[in-house]
Structure 1
């Protein structure tokens, strides 16, 4: 059975595995463009009283079938996950939830940033407010909490931004502020990261227990650090945490940033004899062979400009600092300038209102 046949099988039979309340629901499978303009196919089962229903992507379930699971097993798994999402209220299938995510006052404390590749997301970015960051881009998402299958979120669209009534710069500032509370930055050695993956209950051990546990494994220290967030989900956004970036520079000195994926980056202290071209070749090879297409962040290596609080491509260092000498505003500077313009505009509006009231 190929993937197209699988999709049709799911569409025709999924209701047999769902509870009775889905009896009169309509079933559809549609193409959805995700990160890096990757195309996925999503299942939607919409009941009669729903305006919006959750979407469940089918690629992972097709992999289950190919790994030897029966079609009945896969359909039962799809039905279980789909119904659980609806029952737990994680989906956005109610008018109340739609009203909330399009109301800035209700939503502003839940908006978080993500860092993605700008060129690879050219089509998606046309429909989303974003902030360019060299060949990367920052997008914005409403965090809806966690489920069994990971973090749930809704991407902020241009239409949503219009309803919010704020600028992209204000959205960016609020998202970076929220990030520190919703998904705090995680910075640890590569050895610590590997230990967390390999040693059960490692994170709950005392320092002495951790050292003893690590000694049981052959874990040479590669001299790298992992920068992400607690959930290790879209943790490349930690690059926007300038406080942490400054602390990293103070701790390790000058460093390269290797874009491991959209979920984390690697911090590599610059050492004598280290060649940028070798690091870029390593990043490109890993992206081509180890990283899922929709999780690739970039094929380039970056550095951090602590003066201007922004990252830049390491192979374009001369151009970066030439621009700074020409006094081109940094990302932070552009945000501050935009906020100043908005305040001045609001002030003028208030003065006009006051004059009108006096005349009346």
Structure 2
């Protein structure tokens, strides 16, 4: 874990991009819910999700303290969102180290490797070592691609909360509508803290095309491809 006191010692250091860029990390929130707040923050929209950016100020083994990057700070830095995003892609895995583990390992402590063998029915949790703000792990460079390659399947992604998301192997006998209903039921229950609710939309990662999109957009794209093949 990176212990960072540098920024905390001098709050003015938050306005110095060179001082904070190694302590940037990505955070993902619902773009519609936080529409107002997003007007004041640099962000990257993916579907109905918004990636926002924070600076880790201090970490201990119990908790961490961070500050969000605002448009005013961006004016001071003199950089654009794509520069911020690319730098955050580099620093995020160091600041918020990714953890990818089978759901039963998280829930009941089944050994990680045993659980990963049953790939088709596997539910894999993507989070970070803090188990907080871990859903953004899915946007780390190569994470979804490496997981899809390891499991040898494209993936459905259930954005279960801002703290984690769940990957499920896409296979011919999987009904994606069932997954979507499951997501809606969990979101409507008391299982997810309203502040941590991420999305009502299921997502899909296509391992061959390397495309991350809403599941409904994936279904439309596949139907269109099948239809155009029929015409030729």
Task: Please state which band the TM-score falls in when normalised by the shorter chain.
Answer: 0.7 to 0.9
Task: Name 1:65's counterpart in structure 2.
Answer: none
Measure, in 2, the Cα distance between the counterparts of 1:103 and 1:254. Answer: 41
1:268 paired with 2:168, answer: yes
Q: 1:316 aligns with which of 214, 217, 220?
A: 217
- Structure exhibiting the larger radius of gyration computed from Cα positions: 1
The question of whether the paired residues in 2 share the 8 Å contact of 1:185 and 1:230 is answered with yes
SS of 1:298 mapped into structure 2: coil
Decide whether aligned partners of structure 1 residues 136 and 310 sit closer, same or farther in structure 2, where only a CA change above 3 A counts: farther
Q: Residues 153-186 of structure 1: CA distance to partner in whole angstroms, max 9, x if unpaired?
A: 0000000011111110000000111012111211
Q: 1:136-155 to 2 correspondence within 5 Å?
A: 136-147=49-60, 150-155=63-68
Measure, in 2, the Cα distance between the counterparts of 1:126 and 1:291. Answer: 26
Task: Name 2:228's counterpart in structure 1.
Answer: none
Task: Name 1:236's counterpart in structure 2.
Answer: 135
Decide whether aligned partners of structure 1 residues 313 and 261 sit closer, same or farther in structure 2, where only a CA change above 3 A counts: same
Task: Name 1:59's counterpart in structure 2.
Answer: none
1:98 paired with 2:31, answer: no
Decide whether aligned partners of structure 1 residues 110 and 268 sit closer, same or farther in structure 2, where only a CA change above 3 A counts: same
Measure, in 1, the Cα distance between the counterparts of 2:50 and 2:211. Answer: 12
SS of 2:33 mapped into structure 1: helix
Indicate the structure whose relative CO is greater, using CA pairs within 8 Å and at least 6 residues apart: 2
SS of 2:156 mapped into structure 1: strand
Task: Name 1:226's counterpart in structure 2.
Answer: 125
Q: 1:133-282 to 2 correspondence within 5 Å?
A: 133-147=46-60, 150-196=63-109, 223-252=122-151, 253-282=153-182
Measure, in 1, the Cα distance between the counterparts of 2:130 and 2:54. Answer: 16
Measure, in 2, the Cα distance between the counterparts of 1:107 and 1:236. Answer: 22
Task: Name 1:287's counterpart in structure 2.
Answer: 187
The question of whether the paired residues in 2 share the 8 Å contact of 1:304 and 1:311 is answered with yes
Q: Residues 30-65 of structure 1: CA distance to partner in whole angstroms, max 9, x if unpaired?
A: xxxxxxxxxxxxxxxxxxxxxxxxxxxxxxxxxxxx
- TM, length-normalised to structure 2: 0.82
Shift of 1:232: 1.0
Measure, in 1, the Cα distance between the counterparts of 2:200 and 2:216. Answer: 12
Measure, in 1, the Cα distance between the counterparts of 2:168 and 2:87. Answer: 29
Q: 1:317-336 to 2 correspondence within 5 Å?
A: 317=218
CA RMSD of aligned residues (A): 2.8
Measure, in 2, the Cα distance between the counterparts of 1:272 and 1:235. Answer: 29
The question of whether the paired residues in 2 share the 8 Å contact of 1:242 and 1:309 is answered with no
**By percentage of residues, which structure has more helix?**
1
Q: 1:299 aligns with which of 195, 200, 219?
A: 200
Measure, in 1, the Cα distance between the counterparts of 2:181 and 2:50. Answer: 22
Measure, in 2, the Cα distance between the counterparts of 1:165 and 1:91. Answer: 19
SS of 2:142 mapped into structure 1: helix
Measure, in 1, the Cα distance between the counterparts of 2:89 and 2:215. Answer: 24
The question of whether the paired residues in 1 share the 8 Å contact of 2:155 and 2:206 is answered with no
Task: Name 2:230's counterpart in structure 1.
Answer: none
State how many pairs are aligned: 212
